[in-house]
């Protein structure tokens, strides 16, 4: 058996979480068109006859933004490199590489781990002017692959390449387990995804979601109480929206996904509250 850990790393919005979900064949990480969607490293487990790969999805590497949350996200990418066997370095041919890309390369090269360079979003070839530039990246990679995480293009070749790099060993997770994420965290993430998708511009970055309670009902359904935290009253009003329209949309979208995924009746109660300091407390426990 082959068994090991692979980190998915790169700038924000390049498709790391999409790749994680489609490599393991199940949605464990949330995906949005907005940068800084992933905030905590998430593990997704690929089980195959030849062994097991534990993928670690990480927040996007950022350069320039100096707020508390960004610093914590950048640090968590570096921490995720400990004890792993290989790195998938994901790049996006629709966005100009520039300084941030070089910064990401510096961090990844410093780990001295085998790197597979993945040029993602190959389905957007017509809108991907940076493919040639990205093909010239040299981080000492063992291989460079052109993939589409969205359309599954070349994901099998990527898996094969990665299994070659994994050491011999027993699996780390039981056969049925596809993630290490707890039930409550997963619900929080689903709600946060809907917040990101329904709020404009910078507003998502002021938001944090916590699930206060999950009650199991006698009819088999679940009653979930969640808080959407933001950093000031003005944002709170925007999240609620005129006559509660925005929070309603977020709630409907979250409830729909939770109902399908959990295959049970869901009652979702959301409240918006202000905590100016949630970013300082984030990830401390
Ligand atoms: N066309 C196309 N879009 C993709 C592909 N992979 C990801 N995307 C889109 O790119 C956007 C960002 O995807 P994510 O998977 O959230 O990116 P990420 O790298 O995890 O982003 P952060 O968590 O913010 O660092 C989403 O709108 C995805 O649908 C792909 O192969 N093709
Ligand atoms: Mg992500």
Whose alpha carbon is nearest atom 9 of ligand 1?
15
Give the tokens for residue 59.
């927040």
Local confidence pLDDT in tens for the 285 residues of the chain: 999 999 999 999 999 999 999 999 999 999 999 999 999 999 999 999 999 999 999 999 999 888 999 999 999 999 999 999 999 999 999 999 999 999 999 999 999 999 999 999 999 988 899 999 999 999 999 999 999 999 999 999 999 999 999 999 999 999 999 999 999 999 999 999 999 999 987 888 899 999 999 999 888 899 999 999 999 999 999 999 999 999 999 999 999 999 999 999 999 999 999 999 999 999 886
Angle at CA 121, nearest 5°, toward 188 and 261?
30
Tell which atom from ligand 1 comes closest to the C-alpha of 31.
Answer: 16
* CATH for 2-165 (3.40.50.300, 2.40.50.180, 3.20.20.60, 3.30.70.260): 3.40.50.300
Residue 127 DSSP code: G
Q: Is 279 helix (H, G, I), strand (E, B) or coil?
A: helix
- For tokens 């692959």, the residue is 145
Residues 6+ apart with CB under 8 A from 126: none
Q: How far is the CA of 66 from the centre of ligand 2 (A)?
A: 19
Q: Is 136 helix (H, G, I), strand (E, B) or coil?
A: coil
Q: How far is the CA of 214 from the centre of ligand 1 (A)?
A: 30
Q: Which residues line ligand 1 (CB under 6 A)?
A: 12-18, 31-33, 35-38, 59-60, 120-121, 123-124, 148-150
Q: For domain 183-281, which architecture applies?
A: 2-Layer Sandwich (3.30)
Tell which atom from ligand 1 comes closest to the C-alpha of 36.
Answer: 24
Q: List, edge to edge, every strand of the sheet that includes 2-10.
A: 42-48, 51-57, 2-10, 86-91, 115-119, 143-146
Q: How far is the CA of 116 from the centre of ligand 2 (A)?
A: 18
> Which of 18, 145, 158 most suits a substitution to test ligand 1, by most atoms within 8 Å of the C-beta?
18
Phi then psi for residue 220, to 5 deg, are: 95, -15
Q: How far is the CA of 30 from the centre of ligand 1 (A)?
A: 10
Q: How far is the CA of 216 from the centre of ligand 2 (A)?
A: 30
* Domain residue ranges in the chain: 2-165, 183-281
């Amino acid at each position: 058996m082959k068994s090991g850990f692979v980190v998915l790393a790169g700038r924000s919005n390049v498709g790391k979480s999409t790749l994680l979900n489609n490599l393991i064949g199940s949605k464990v990480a949330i995906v949005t068109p907005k940068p800084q969607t992933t905030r905590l490293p998430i593990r997704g487990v690929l089980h195959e006859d030849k062994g097991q790969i534990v993928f670690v999805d990480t927040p996007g590497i950022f350069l320039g933004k100096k707020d508390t949350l960004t610093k914590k996200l950048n640090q968590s990418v570096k921490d995720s490199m400990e004890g792993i066997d290989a790195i998938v370095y994901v790049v996006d041919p629709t966005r100009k590489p520039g300084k941030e890309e070089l910064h990401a390369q510096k961090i990844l090269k410093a780990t001295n781990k085998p790197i597979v360079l993945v040029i993602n979003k190959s389905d957007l070839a017509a809108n991907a002017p940076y493919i040639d530039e990205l093909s010239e990246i040299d981080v000492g990679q063992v291989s460079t692959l052109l993939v589409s995480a969205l359309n599954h293009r070349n994901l099998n070749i990527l898996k094969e390449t990665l299994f070659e790099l994994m050491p011999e060993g027993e699996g780390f997770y039981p056969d049925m387990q596809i993630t290490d994420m707890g039930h409550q965290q997963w619900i929080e993430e689903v709600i946060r995804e809907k917040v990101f998708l329904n709020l404009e511009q910078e507003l998502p970055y002021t938001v944090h979601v916590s699930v206060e309670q999950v009650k199991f009902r006698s009819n088999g359904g679940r009653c979930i109480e969640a808080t959407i935290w933001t950093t000031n009253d003005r944002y709170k009003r925007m999240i609620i929206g005129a006559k509660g329209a925005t929070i309603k949309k977020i709630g409907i979208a979250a409830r729909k996904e939770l109902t399908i995924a959990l295959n049970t009746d869901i009652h979702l109660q959301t409240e918006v509250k202000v905590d100016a300091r949630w970013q300082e407390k984030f990830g401390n426990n």
